[in-house]
Structures are given as C-alpha cells and as structure tokens.
Structure 1
Amino acid sequence: MFFKISLISACLLCGTAVAENLRATGDLGVVIEREQGSALLVNSSHRTVLKRVEALGDLSHASVVFSRDQRYAFVFGRDGGLTKIDLLRDKIDKRIVQAGNSIGGAISQDGSLIAVSNYTPGGVKVFSTETLQQVADIPALYQGDKRSKVVGLVDAPGQRFVFSLFDAGEIWVVDLNDPQNPQIQKFQDIGKQPYDALLSPDGRYYIAGLFGENGLALLDLWRPELNVRRILADYGKQDDKLPVYKMPHLEGWAMAGDLMFVPAIGHHEVLVIDKREWNLVKRIPVLGQPVFVMARPDGRQIWVNFAFPDNQHLQIIDVKDLSIVQSLQPGKAVLHMEFTPRGEEVWVSVRDEDRVMVYDTDDFSVKARLNAEKPSGIFFTSRAYKLGL
C-alpha cells in the first residue's frame, strides 16, 4: 500500500513539474539576427528572449510565416533556404535549400502548403508544411523561355497564392486546391517593375507597387474579370525624384478603415488613398524616404520608418486627422516594427545598436530594451491568423 501511495505521489509531482514547464504559443515570436544567421525566439507578453536558434543561412532579407497552430515558424532566407523551427522545442525541425536566391514566401489558407518566391531561378516553389517535400514548381516564364524574378507573394482565400513578376510586369494568381495541377491566371502589362505588394485584410485587393513608373497596380480578386487597374498613375509626374536608398515595403498592411497608407518612392512622403474610389486624399510630408508604413491593429496609428540617412527615426501618424503626432529616435538603423496582437506595444529592431526597443503605443514610453545581434525582421505568431502576412 505504501509503495502504491508513493508511486501515485511521485506521478502527481511529475505531472506538476511537466505542467509548470508548459508553454503557450500565442505570444511567441521570432527576431531575425541577420548577420549572425540566427533568430531569437521571444515572448511578447513578458518581453523576454527565450532562445537563440542558429545555422539559418543568409538572413539578409529574411521573412517568417507561422503554422496555423503557431507551433512552427518557417524562415525564408536570401540564400534559398527554407527552415522550419519548432517554437516549443527551441530548435530547427527541418531545413532545405530550395533555390539560389529567394525573397520571401507565404503559407496557404489551410496551412498545408508553403510557397517560396525566388529570384534565382525565377519562379515559385511549393512545399508541404509537414515534411518540406516539394509538391509544385511554377517557373515564372515570359516571352518564351525568359524567367522573371518573383516578388510580392501573398496567400489569398480559396487556397490561392498571388505574386508579381518583376521583369515581366505581370501578376499571377495560382489556385492550388490540387497541388499536382496548379491553375494559373495571368494578368499581363500591369506596369513596369512591380517591386512589392500587399493584400487587403479582407483578402479582396492585391496591390503591387511599381518601381519603373508612377502609380500602383490594383487587382480585385472578387472581380478578376475587370483585369488590373492602374491607380495614382499621375502621382509625382512633375516632381523631381530623389535617389532611392532602399526600396519601400508594402507588405505591412498599411490600411486603416477606408484609407490606405503607402510609402512614396523617391519622395519624403506617405500617400493617403481612399480605397473606396482609389484616389489620393493627402500627401503627408515625413522626414525621410519611408520604408515600412504600418498600421496599428486598431487602425488609429500609422508607424513609419525610413531609409538611410534618416533611418534612426520613427514617425507616428494619427489617422483621425492625418497628422504626425510623435517623432522618436530609437537609434541607428531602425529596420523593422511589429505590433503585439492587440497593438498596445510595438517592437522595433535597431540594427546598429544591437537591440530591440519595445514602445507603449499610447504614451510612446520605452517598456523594454532587449539585446540582439544586428536585428532586422520581427515576426509574432499572431500573423498565423492574418491573410497576406
């Protein structure tokens, strides 16, 4: 009897120990350390670093998506690497090198597929999220046998992916309900050199920025028969453009209500667009060339960072009156921002100061400083439930 009681007590204590070591995934995230080829696993609720995961390859332009259960992070490296990280075991689950030069990727609506956009060779490859086995290869061919760089890859409703062909000036929509037989819809002559794109939060509009000419290319995924529409085609035609030190990014979901906020290429401005009529509402002067223009989850604020030589600054726009309400100076080389799921805080990577700053988005006070080796992209697991990220 004594033995049985002791055994039961031991099991109960063991269970308690296991329970105390349990970790939830909803407030986890990944901070890319670009020069180290590593990533920090972080907890956004406690503002703590949990673990460093190394040997991730070239992370000079890395991005991350998450499995729908938030357990796994998929890291896209510039060297064509695709790495699956187990956020509960703090280690690499699997890693492959699928191309020579890649620029990002997306996860499908049902969470079963990972698509990677490639510069070399130009095209999109699709993999199983479970095994990282390749299930589809979609070369970005145009004008016969020419291959285009692929940019602006996003997931869309209906188990689809949408992306742009930089060299060809096209947008492709790929239906992968049957991965062995992808159905591709091509939209040609959408404009010169689409360089990035965003998907509206409802999954309806795909908007590609154009580097080779003025304006944006708009595709209504609900009504693709309308073809691609050019918006803001006349913007800045009479203005002198400045040298472009860093390409701006659109994939920040800079949408708030009926307004869209877009970084202007070669100008010190943020453009405000009414997405009901797709016309320009306002040009907001900012202190440098904007790179990321990101909306707080509630849509009340827009946070803006800048290219060199003004990349030590942040500016915040109040959507209510479309004015700048705060300017911050976190340090040298502010590269990326990420809001906590409900937007009460924002994490900011400051590459040349080797740290991540955490700000309160209400009073703009500093809540924490975390050490990181040359940090760049910051990605929280709440992205798992958002389209286009």
Structure 2
Amino acid sequence: MKRLFAPVLMSMASIAAADTIVATGDLGLVVERAEGSLLLVDQSERAAIGRIEGLGDLSHASLVYSPDERFAFVFGRDGGLSKVDIVEQEVVARVMQAGNSIGGAISDDGTLVAVSNYEPGGVRVFDTETLEMVADIPTGSKTIGLVDAPGRRFVFTTWDEGETWIADFSAGDPAITKVVGMGANPYDALITSDGRTYITGLFGQDGLTALDLWDATPEPTPVLPGYGRGQEDLPVYKMPHLEGWAKAAGEFVLPAVGHHQVLWVDATTLEETGRTDTHGQPVFAMARPDGRQVWVNFAHPLNDTIQVIDTVSKEIVHEFKPGPAVLHMEFTPRGHEVWISVRDAGKVMIYDTQTFEKLREVEADSPSGIFFTARAHRTGL
C-alpha cells in the first residue's frame, strides 16, 4: 500500500501545482481610457479574462512589459507610472512622477523603466523592482519619441529644441550624448528592431530625420525633405504615431503629416521609393509581422475606416469600416489575426488577416491601445 500511496500523493500535488500556473505568452492588455482600467485578454480564447482598475488618467496611455511577461509598466497621461501584475491582476506599485506624461520604455535588460514627460519635461528613470527613481534627466523641453536601444540605453527627442539625446546607463549613472539639428518640432520617433536606425517625424516642417546609432558620433540625416512641397497642408486633427510604424520588404512605410498618404522609404538608402494615396490622414501604418501587408487607420473625422496595403504593389487591396473611432491595431505575434479597438462602439474586434473575416468582438469600455505580451521581446516596443 505504501508504494501505491506515494505516487498518488505526488500526482495530486502535481495537479494542484498545475492549477496555479499561469502562462502569460498568450495574454495582452487593452487600455480602457475612460475608466482608467486595463482589460486582460487571451489571444487563443479571443476573450477578456479580467480587468485591472485604479490606473488614473489613461487618455493617452501606453505600456511596456518586463522580460518575463508578468509585469506591465503603464504610462498614464496624468504622470502616473504603474506596475501591474497580470498574473495576480492587480496594481503592485504606482508613483506620480510628473504632471503630464507621453510614454516610456524599458531597458533591454529589464532593470530600468524610463518615462517621457511634457510637464515638467525631461525623462525620469526608475528601478523596475521598486519604482524608485534612479535618474532625473531635465531637458528644458517637452520630450517625445522615447525608445530603448541596445546596451542599456534610452533615446529621446525634444520638441522645443529639436535635439535627440542618448542616455547610456551601461556604466551606472547615465552618460548623455546630445545630437542637435534634428529639425523643427519633432513629434514622435521610431527605432528599428536591430536598434540601429532612429527616425523622428517633424511637425514644424515637411520631412523626417534619421540617426545611425551604430555610428560613434551620430549625425542627423534628412529623410524626405519637403515631401509635401506644392501640396496644400490639411488640418491635422490627430498626430500620426511613428511607433506604430511599418518596416516591410526592406522599406519603411510612414504616415504623412497633413496629407492623405503613406510614404515609402528604402530602409538602407533612406530614399523615397513611392507613395500610396489613402482614405484620410494616417495615424498608424502597421506592418503584419510577415511584412506582406500594411494596415492603416485614420484621424478624425475619417476614423471609422481601415485600409490594407499590399507591400509588393503598394496598392490598397482591402478597405472596411469596423465602426466609429478606430484607435489602435495589434497583430498576433505571427500575424494570423489583428485586434482592433473601436472606441465609440465599445468593442475590440478581431479579424483574420488572410480572409479579412471578422472572428469575434470583445466588449470593452472606450478601448484604445492594445498590447500583447510578445512586445516584451521587441526593441522599441
């Protein structure tokens, strides 16, 4: 009997342990901007499985994940930085670090989280375990385009001065490199997945500016200078987001400011390779993970529409209207599905990216940003 009893006890213990295991690789968070909450979703189930509340003003919120995909660091518009445990579905730490924030990034080793601020400006950096501040980097300006770069570095740009700063934490205290002459009023930026190329979009002039971060002394390189020359600028109701950028088949696909176009740029030479006329002013131009399609949404008042562009022909191959106020899109890691937040319908809609069939709707309260945990392993996200 004893020989039989021990394996039975071990089996029961294994079952009990299995009941407590939560795998996070299939999960994601949807920002519910009106209520200051996060909806926890399961990709395979195509369903909401929980809600985390008490995160303050999430009207322009974003988040990043720890390398183990367990914790999310949420950047609220009210200056709040929150650490959220998605396994326990709770806020485990929260600090009010500024008056107005506009995003953040996590270092490649997962030990530092940085926040970009409008008020009082500058960047503040925190320990990811405790949320204790480890560095305050004043810039005297609103900061935008904050991204992580390899080697425990953060890169960000100043709206007022048109400078890009590189903060290197590899030796402990940050070593700051400033690059001047980036252009008039940079409004957002992106970094390539290899951490080499950093590109800022400019609101104060037609064009963008690139930096080669592999260069010991990076110098600004103009990209598409004067791309709107000869065209009438349209009112800009919402700034495009370069962090929802596309790089596909060796080209960048970038939203134009004040024009109904996306712009195609060779990723090596930074020369223009084409333009695609679009339904409205693009906000996000996002590549499906395999690079074959780019999905584009648009600013108010034409924000009920999605267009899908084929990256080989650069032509629109599909257009549909999910509903009022399409704010954000997120592909599953291999790109077989896309999740779309439709704020004024109060839904997240899920589509097959091959057939364009709607697969399911998930109820959400004024949904905006959608963030799957696979982002934990991608530079710049």
- What's the TM-score, normalizing by structure 1? 0.95
Percent sequence identity is 55
Say which of 146, 151, 158 aligns to 2:144.
Answer: 151
Which structure 1 segments of 5+ residues have no match? Answer: 141-146
| Contact preservation (8 Å) 1:199, 1:253 | no
What is the aligned partner in structure 1 of residue 320 from structure 2? 328
Amino acid at match of 2:64: V
Task: Name the residue aligned to 1:229.
Answer: 221
Query: Is 2:260–2:279's contact at 8 Å kept on the other side of the alignment?
Result: yes
Q: Alpha-carbon deviation of 1:274? A: 1.2
Paired residue for 2:356, among 337, 340, 364? 364
Structure 2 counterpart of 1:61: 60
> Aligned AA for 1:97?
M
1:290-332 Cα offsets, whole Å, 9 max, x none, are 0001011111110000001110000000101111000011000
3-state SS of 2:14 partner? helix
Residue type of the alignment partner of 1:384: A
2:114 alignment partner, SS class: strand
Deviations 1:76-101 (A, max 9, x none): 10011111111111111111111111
Q: In 1, Cα distance between the equivalents of 2:288 and 2:245?
A: 9
Let me know the Cα RMSD of the aligned residues: 1.5
- 2:243 is paired with a residue whose SS is coil
CA positional deviation for 1:211: 0.2
Aligned counterpart for 2:234 among listed residues 234, 239, 242? 242
> Which residue in 1 is equivalent to 2:116?
117
How far, CA to CA, are the matches of 1:189 and 1:122 in structure 2? 19
Q: Does 1:26 align with 2:19?
A: no
- Match among 152, 157, 161 for residue 164 of structure 1: 157
- Give the drift of 1:234: 2.2
Q: Which residue of 2 aligns with 1:129?
A: 128
Give how far 1:20 is off: 3.3
Aligned length: 381
Q: Secondary structure at the match of 1:352?
A: helix
2:275 equivalent in structure 1: 283
Q: Distance in 1 between matches of 2:7 and 2:217?
A: 67
Find the partner of 2:299 among 307, 310, 318: 307
Secondary structure at the aligned position of 2:16 is classed as: helix
* Secondary structure of 2:21's aligned partner: coil
**What SS does structure 2 have at the residue aligned with 1:40?**
strand
Matches within 5 A, 1:136-215: 136-140=135-139, 147-179=140-172, 181-215=173-207
Amino acid at match of 2:160: D
Letter in 2 for 1:386: R
In 2, Cα distance between the equivalents of 1:55 and 1:14?
A: 36
Tell me the alpha carbon deviations over residues 83-142 of structure 1, each in whole angstroms, 9 at most, x when there is no partner. 1111111111111111111000000011110000011111100111111111111001xx
Q: TM-score, normalised by structure 2?
A: 0.97
Given the alignment of the two structures, is residue 46 of structure 1 paired with residue 39 of structure 2, yes or no? no
Retained in 1: the 8 A contact 2:283–2:297?
yes
What whole-Å deviation, never above 9, does each CA across 1:187-246 have from its counterpart, x for those lacking one? 112100000000012110000000001110100001153511111112112110000000
CA distance in 1: counterparts of 2:121 and 2:249, whole angstroms: 35
